[in-house]
Structure 1
Amino acid sequence: MSLGALRPSPLVEQATDHLREQITGGAWPVGTKLPGETALAKSLGVGRSTVREALRALAGAGLVRSRQGSGVFVIATRPRQDWSTQLRQAAVADVYEVRMLVEVEAARLAARRRTDEDIAVLQEALAGRRAAAHAGDAEFVGADIALHAGVVDAAHNPVLTGLFTEFVPVLQQGLLDLVELLGLRADPEYGDESHAAMVDAVVRGDADAAARELRDELTRTLALLNSL
């Protein structure tokens, strides 16, 4: 099978793309043993080192696997998606359901673990959200997310912080759409009371109240998302 000679640069990326197309296009079904490095290099018009790097990239995408002494075999015809890609493609409501699980527990932990510095950050973030109530949609959504991020950070759990950070791009766009579609900014004080109650619960160290306030707030937003 001739795959077509490649342009000089960037060779590894081009080789990877050509081989991926063969796999995802069905030319090499699952279980197929790929031609050897020498044969692939000759067909593609590149060196063996370039082929080796391309195969490594395909292995990283979950498409092929090397079996020592046997060769390289196709194990899937669709690339494995990383976590960030899955989040970008997920429905906002689905992301919100997972967000609730993460943030509600984060709020509970924050109430138990918050430091004086965390309290100052939360109070400043709440003031920032209030100040942004009369600004543009993007500024308001950014201030809202910053407050929630402050609660997650106060939990002092790097895994929770990492998960929330992954959610932020999807949440930001979803909230912007929600604000615009439902005209939530008609009330500049929207959500202020519930957010203030959440911050107060964290500051007081009331874990149950902090979790409850945040759960109720996110549940209301999720209901709005599901109504679209």
Structure 2
Amino acid sequence: MPLVTAKRTGLVDQVIAQIRELVTSGEWPLGEKIPPEAELVAALGVGRNTVREAVRALSHAGLLEVRQGDGTFVRATNEISGAVRKLCGPELRQILEVRRALEVEGARLAARARTEEELRQMSDCLAERDTAVRNRDSEAVITTDTEFHRVLVAASHNPVLISLYDGIREAVTSSVATTFNPEIPPEQHVSHTALLTAVRDGDPRRAAEEAGGFLDELLAQMGTESLSAKPSTPE
């Protein structure tokens, strides 16, 4: 079958770009409902079909979620996060498995490549996290725990790995929020001190084991077979 010239939908592309910018910039916050179709039509100066095509495209990309009878909501702030959410859905187990794959390798590489400034940032995050745990401050725990893992992966200095992890940050935050129980005594909460120590000591194998260990425990608690915490490549 011969190829034919593709039709360019300039207006649709422009509307997609504008809506994507509103989402990624936070102008339309995650989880919030976007303006109704009639309001978008008036504000953008385009037809209803153009708006519908743009919303449909961004819904397929995972950035928006159309709820029949309720409106359209921001589902993710970038396509990678949207894809992860579509693939994993609400399944915490799948999100934890994706986290594990990225964080174990991130920790292994960070043990070799981390800087003193990154070590300081991770140490500060853990200190703030531990204080939040003792105070049963769920919001602060979620924020500092998520930031610790972000800095850990950033310390790998692998731009592809960092980009992938940034793409699932919303899913990471969601998983931290889901697994943190403020009713548990502070001393029973997971500690990342041993992980930070392994990274500080420049021990890739131990860092990988520590990074995978607590996620394995969460997966095991969910009835999931525990994965090997050892890196797949020799040190």
- TM tier, smaller: 0.5 to 0.7
User: Partner of 1:30 in structure 2?
Assistant: none
User: Partner of 1:103 in structure 2?
Assistant: 103
- Does residue 119 in structure 1 map to residue 111 in structure 2? no
- Does residue 216 in structure 1 map to residue 213 in structure 2? yes
Separation in structure 2 between the aligned mates of residue 148 and residue 87 of structure 1, nearest angstrom: 18
Residue 169 of structure 1 deviates from its aligned partner by: 1.6
Aligned positions, number: 164
Q: For residues 167 and 79 of structure 1, do their structure 2 counterparts lie closer, same or farther at Cα, with a shift above 3 Å needed?
A: closer
Instruction: Report the AA paired with residue 160 of structure 2.
Output: V
> Taking structure 1 as the reference length, what is the TM-score of the superposition?
0.62
Structure 1 residue corresponding to 2:184, chosen from 183, 186, 189? 186
Instruction: Report the AA paired with residue 222 of structure 1.
Output: L
User: Partner of 2:84 in structure 1?
Assistant: 87
Mapped contact 1:125–1:150 kept (Cα < 8 A): no
- Gaps spanning 5+ residues in structure 2: where? 1-37, 63-78, 225-235
Instruction: Report the AA paired with residue 57 of structure 2.
Output: A
**Structure 1, residues 189-226: CA drift from partner, whole Å, max 9, x if none?**
3112xx11100000000000000111111111223355
User: Partner of 2:163 in structure 1?
Assistant: 162
Aligned residues with identical type, % of pairs: 30
- Does residue 15 in structure 1 map to residue 61 in structure 2? no
Separation in structure 2 between the aligned mates of residue 13 and residue 129 of structure 1, nearest angstrom: 49
Q: For residues 185 and 8 of structure 1, do their structure 2 counterparts lie closer, same or farther at Cα, with a shift above 3 Å needed?
A: closer
Mapped contact 2:138–2:182 kept (Cα < 8 A): no
Residue 147 of structure 1 deviates from its aligned partner by: 1.4
User: Partner of 1:53 in structure 2?
Assistant: none
Q: Which has more helix, going by share of residues?
A: 1
Separation in structure 2 between the aligned mates of residue 202 and residue 178 of structure 1, nearest angstrom: 24
SS in 2 for 1:61: helix
Larger radius of gyration: 1
Mapped contact 2:195–2:210 kept (Cα < 8 A): yes
Give 1:15-94 correspondences, 5 Å limit: 15-17=49-51, 20=53, 61=57, 79-81=60-62, 82-89=79-86, 90=89, 91-94=91-94
Mapped contact 2:81–2:170 kept (Cα < 8 A): no
Instruction: Report the AA paired with residue 92 of structure 2.
Output: V
Separation in structure 2 between the aligned mates of residue 168 and residue 202 of structure 1, nearest angstrom: 21
Q: For residues 94 and 11 of structure 1, do their structure 2 counterparts lie closer, same or farther at Cα, with a shift above 3 Å needed?
A: same
Separation in structure 1 between the aligned mates of residue 112 and residue 216 of structure 2, nearest angstrom: 23
User: Partner of 2:151 in structure 1?
Assistant: 150
**Structure 1, residues 91-127: CA drift from partner, whole Å, max 9, x if none?**
2221211111111000000000011111211221221
> Taking structure 2 as the reference length, what is the TM-score of the superposition?
0.60
Residue 10 of structure 1 deviates from its aligned partner by: 3.1
Q: Give the CA RMSD over aligned residues.
A: 2.8
- Gaps spanning 5+ residues in structure 1: where? 1-5, 21-56, 63-77
Separation in structure 2 between the aligned mates of residue 184 and residue 216 of structure 1, nearest angstrom: 21
Q: For residues 98 and 141 of structure 1, do their structure 2 counterparts lie closer, same or farther at Cα, with a shift above 3 Å needed?
A: same
Separation in structure 2 between the aligned mates of residue 9 and residue 115 of structure 1, nearest angstrom: 48
- Does residue 203 in structure 1 map to residue 200 in structure 2? yes
User: Partner of 1:3 in structure 2?
Assistant: none
